């Protein structure tokens, strides 16, 4: 009995020993299968991530939907970063130059030609004369790229007393106005569509009134944009020119002595101008006074003669 029990125990033990390695091998294979399945399931995401980051190996290339997505995404990104899409700045340049010259006629002619010779034009010009001096005021409009060159040329034509330049960036205001204009144009189209579908007189009148308001705002925005475009495209240079004698121009050189002499000559010229004006004034007043005095004298003589006739 004991031997039979022992045999049964040994048979069971042998079966267990044989089954344990097989189970272990099967478990490992199943575990490996699960891990491989998980890795395969995760690989599309990992590949997409690598392709998106530009880390794909040289011997691999994205295919199918991944390739299409990557190309579309890169094209979209390139569209936003393309330099050609950047809006140009709107810069308004202006300059003001005040100067003197003893060659007034030549300088005036040179300033008048400075605009047309550089692709611009003369916006305004005014010639004035006061006492013995002449003054010339001119405003030039020149292409923005010629602004600095024309300023230097104008300053070389005489003695510069003062000069200033200014550049104003109006890009933000310009493009804000452009966006507002686009919005109004879209609104205009919608109102026009509503007018074509309106069936009531009251609705039609209200829509036409609104359309008029929209078009008025559109004209304002368009005018503003046109003005900025012109100012940015053609810079403004204002020149004030004074005629002086060569001696006076030489005395305006730097130094205290020259300034004192210039002030003295200016005061002498002022006194001389005062007396000239006084003589002109008196000449204009004396003639009427003499005529009035003559009339009074004749009247008195006539009155005396009439009095003597009555006494006689």
pLDDT, one tens digit per residue, over 175-228 is 999 999 999 999 999 999 999 999 999 999 999 999 999 999 999 999 999 999
Cα–Cα distance, 146 to 119 (Å, whole number): 9
Q: How many CB atoms lie within 10 A of CB 140?
A: 28
Identify any residues that bridge with 121 across adjacent strands, giving them in sequence order. Answer: 141
DSSP annotation string for 110-158: HHHHHHHHTT-EEEEEEEEEETTEEEEEEEEEEEGGGHHHHHHHHHTTS
- What element of type H or E holds 288? helix 256-311
Of the candidates 234, 257, 283, which is a domain's last residue? Answer: 234
Identify any residues that bridge with 304 across adjacent strands, giving them in sequence order. Answer: none
Cα–Cα distance, 103 to 243 (Å, whole number): 7
**Are 103 and 217 found together in one domain?**
no
Cα–Cα distance, 140 to 150 (Å, whole number): 9
* pLDDT attached to residue 149: 96
**Are 242 and 195 found together in one domain?**
no
* pLDDT attached to residue 269: 74
The total number of structural domains that make up the chain: 2
**160-179 burial, b if ≥16 CB within 10 A, otherwise e?**
eeeeeeeeeeeeeebeebbe
CATH number of the domain bearing residue 201: 1.20.58
Residue 1, domain member (yes or no): no
Judged by average pLDDT, the poorest of 2-6, 73-77, 112-116, 258-262 is 73-77
**Are 163 and 218 found together in one domain?**
no
**Are 164 and 198 found together in one domain?**
no
**Are 110 and 226 found together in one domain?**
no
DSSP state of 100: E
Cα–Cα distance, 189 to 181 (Å, whole number): 13
**Are 163 and 181 found together in one domain?**
no
Tell me the pTM.
0.52
**Are 166 and 192 found together in one domain?**
no
Residue-wise pLDDT for 60-72, tens only, equals 444 333 333 333 3
CATH number of the domain bearing residue 121: 3.30.70
Residue 189, domain member (yes or no): yes
CA atoms within 13 A on the CB side of 312: 6
Domain extent at residue 143: 91-170+237-247
**Are 118 and 204 found together in one domain?**
no
Q: What is the mean pLDDT of residues 269-291?
A: 75
Residue 217, domain member (yes or no): yes
Positive/negative CA dihedral, 80, 83, 85, 89: positive
- 131: Cα separation from own chain's centroid: 42
Residue 120 sits at φ, ψ, to 5 deg, of -115, -150
Helix axis angle, 201-233 to 171-197, nearest 10°: 160
């Amino acid at each position: 009995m004991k031997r039979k029990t022992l045999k049964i125990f040994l048979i069971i033990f042998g079966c267990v020993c044989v089954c344990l390695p097989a189970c272990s091998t099967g478990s490992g294979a199943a575990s490996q299968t699960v891990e491989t399945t998980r890795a395969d399931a995760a690989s599309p995401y990992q590949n997409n991530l690598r392709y998106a980051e530009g880390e794909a190996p040289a011997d691999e290339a994205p295919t199918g939907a991944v390739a299409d997505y990557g190309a579309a995404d890169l094209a979209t990104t390139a569209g936003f970063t393309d330099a050609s899409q950047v809006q140009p700045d709107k810069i308004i340049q202006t300059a003001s130059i005040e100067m003197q010259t003893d060659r007034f006629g030549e300088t005036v002619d040179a300033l008048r030609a400075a605009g047309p010779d550089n692709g611009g034009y003369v916006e305004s010009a005014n010639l004035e004369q006061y006492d013995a001096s002449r003054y010339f005021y001119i405003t030039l409009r020149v292409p923005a790229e010629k602004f600095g060159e024309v300023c230097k040329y104008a300053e070389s034509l005489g003695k510069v007393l003062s000069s200033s330049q200014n550049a104003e960036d109006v890009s933000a205001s310009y493009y804000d106005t452009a966006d507002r204009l686009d919005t109004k144009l879209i609104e205009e189209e919608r109102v026009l569509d509503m007018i074509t579908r309106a069936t009531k007189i009251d609705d039609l009148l209200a829509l036409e009134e609104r359309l008029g308001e929209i078009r008025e705002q559109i004209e304002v925005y368009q005018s503003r944009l046109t003005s900025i475009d012109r100012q940015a495209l053609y810079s403004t240079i204002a020149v004030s020119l004074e005629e002086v004698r060569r001696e006076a121009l030489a005395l305006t050189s730097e130094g205290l002595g020259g300034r004192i002499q210039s002030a003295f000559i200016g005061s002498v010229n002022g006194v001389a101008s005062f007396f000239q004006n006084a003589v002109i004034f008196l000449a204009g007043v004396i003639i009427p006074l003499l005529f009035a005095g003559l009339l009074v004298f004749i009247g008195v003589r006539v009155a005396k003669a009439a009095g003597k006739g009555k006494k006689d």
